[in-house]
Amino acid sequence: RPEDHRMAAALDGTSSSTSSSPTPGTSRAEYEPDGPIARRIAGVTPYFPFKKIDKFYDIGGFLRDPEAFALVVEVLVERYRNVEIDAIFGLDARGFVLGPPVALALRKPFYMLRKRGKMPNAVHGAAYSKEYAGTDALGIPRGAVRPGDKALIVDDLVATGGTLTAAVDLVKRLGGTVVECACVVEITVLDARAKFAHAGHADVPIWALMSESILTLDGLADPAIPTEGYVDDGEAH
């Protein structure tokens, strides 16, 4: 369809539409996954043993680095600047940190996809298996998606893809189309794309700025990161 070709061109950065210049000293080629900008951000994004997982990636690392955080937002804004999007949706809870600055820059409404029992006047989807343990269900504000709306879903990390699949299910159930799922980190070995395909969402792309292959900052081994007395006290969520 013509609109699909226009969307693909915009996502590839080949749209003829005018957009703002990238940060001085960088080029849009540097916004590529695992590229130079991604590596700058990966350099301040540590992992820790947490929730019985050997490498739990902590986006708090780049959130405390204003330059790195600004670059994360800039990459996402530039990727979707020329894409037709009606609204941006963030997943509970770190999607609430990343989605709003992107939505503000693109002048799009932002909606929270919250876990059951956390938001009034919500429409809930089916139960799904969480990334680490147990099950939950996502809620979306009533009226946030109208038939034909184009949605961008944002989260910090995609692992098995269970939560993202639930989000796509819910948006589609309400008549919307998901343009893309954008994450800062993708654990590629867990192959969330296969889960999407199995769930009937092979039409929805997943895009991530960083893969686990460049996230090599060991939070317990780096002397610059205060970790005295560290214990794995993570709980399933």
Q: How far apart are CA 144 and CA 180, in angstroms?
A: 17
Q: Is 131 a catalytic residue?
A: yes
Whole-number pLDDT of residue 235: 78
- CB of 33 closer than 8 Å to CB of 185: no
Q: How far apart are CA 212 and CA 56, in angstroms?
A: 10
pTM for this predicted structure = 0.89
Bridge partners for 180 per DSSP: 152
Whole-number pLDDT of residue 17: 41
Catalytic pick among 74, 78, 81, 94: 94
- CB of 71 closer than 8 Å to CB of 40: yes
CA angle at residue 65 from 110 to 94, to 5 degrees?
35
Whole-number pLDDT of residue 135: 87
pLDDT in tens, the chain (237 residues): 545 555 565 676 544 443 455 555 556 678 999 999 999 999 999 999 999 899 999 999 999 999 999 999 999 999 999 999 999 999 999 999 999 999 999 999 999 999 999 999 999 999 988 766 678 999 999 999 999 999 999 999 999 999 999 999 999 999 999 999 999 999 999 999 999 999 999 999 999 999 999 999 999 999 999 999 999 998 765
Token pair for 79 = 């990727």
Whole-number pLDDT of residue 16: 40
Instruction: Return the H-helix or E-strand segment holding 123.
Output: strand 122-124
Token pair for 142 = 């009533």
Per DSSP, 3 falls in state H
The sign one gets for the Cα dihedral 183, 160, 3, 34 is: positive
Q: Is 94 a catalytic residue?
A: yes
Instruction: State the number of CA atoms in the 13 A half-sphere of 90 facing the CB.
Output: 19
Q: How far apart are CA 237 and CA 234, in angstroms?
A: 9
Largest CA distance in the chain: 57
Whole-number pLDDT of residue 19: 45
Catalytic pick among 131, 180, 186, 212: 131
Q: Which residue type occupies 186?
A: E
CA angle at residue 64 from 63 to 68, to 5 degrees?
60
